Amino acid sequence: MLLRALDLADEQATGALGAALAPVLRGGDILRLEGDLGAGKSTLARGLIAALTGVPDAPSPTFTLVETYDGPDFALWHFDLYRLEAPEDVWELGLEEALDGGLTLIEWPERIEGLLPDGALTVRLEVAGAARVARLEGDAPWKPRLSAAGIA
C-alpha cells in the first residue's frame, strides 16, 4: 500500500530521505529502489549509506552490481541489478547472504522479481520537472517505522 508521497526538490532532498530512513532500518530489511535511469535511486542509497556507515560518497554499483558495507550491527548490501543478465545470476552476487541478516538495498529489483521475499519497503522515484517525487510503499508494519523516522 502507498504509505507516503514526498516531493524532493533537489539532490540534497533525495539524500536526506535516505538519511531519514537509516535509523529505522535494520538487518533483515529489504529496501527496493525503483524508478528509471536517473530517477535518484543511487542518490538516496548514498544518503542512507552515509548515515548508517559514515562512508560519505558511496559509489554506484553500476558495473560491480554490488557493494557491501559494515553497518552498526549488520552488513549493508547495495545492489544495482540493471546490468544483471539473468535473474539467477544474482545468487553469485551474494543475495542469499545479504538476505540472511543484512540490510539489502536494491536498485532495479524488477530484474529478480519472484526471488525476493515479501515485506520489503519500496521507494519509487519519478522525475517531476527538475525535481523528483518519491512514493513509499510497504505493508502495515512499515507504518509505525516510517512514523518513527518522521516520514509518515
Ligand X SMILES: Nc1ncnc2c1ncn2[C@@H]1O[C@H](COP(=O)(O)OP(=O)(O)O)[C@@H](O)[C@H]1O
The DSSP output letter for 120 is -
Q: How far is the CB of 79 from ligand X (least distance, A)?
A: 12
Q: What is the DSSP string of 13-76?
A: HHHHHHHHHGGG--TT-EEEEE-STTSSHHHHHHHHHHHHH--TTPPP-TTTSEEEEE-SSSEE
Cβ nearer to Mg ion, comparing 133 with 152 = 133
Q: Which amino acid is at 33?
A: L
Q: What is the Cα–Cα distance from 103 to 73, expressed in whole angstroms? A: 10
For residue 6, the partner it binds in ligand X, Mg ion, none, with Cβ less than 5 to 8 A by kind, is: none
Binding track over 113-142 against ligand X, x by CB under 6 A: -----------------xxx----------
Long-range contacts, 55-59 (Cβ 8 Å, 24+): none
If one asks whether residue 35 binds ligand X (CB under 6 A), the answer comes out as: yes
User: CB under 6 A: which stretch of 3-11, 50-58, 113-121, 140-148 binds ligand X?
Assistant: 3-11
Q: Which of 3, 13, 81, 95 binds ligand X (CB under 6 A)?
A: 13
Binding track over 36-75 against ligand X, x by CB under 6 A: -xxxxxxx--------------------------------
Q: What is the Cα–Cα distance from 61 to 32, expressed in whole angstroms? A: 15
Give helix then strand counts, H and E, for the chain.
Answer: 4, 7
* Contact footprint for Mg ion (CB under 5 A): 41-42, 60, 107
Q: How far is the CB of 144 from Mg ion (least distance, A)?
A: 29
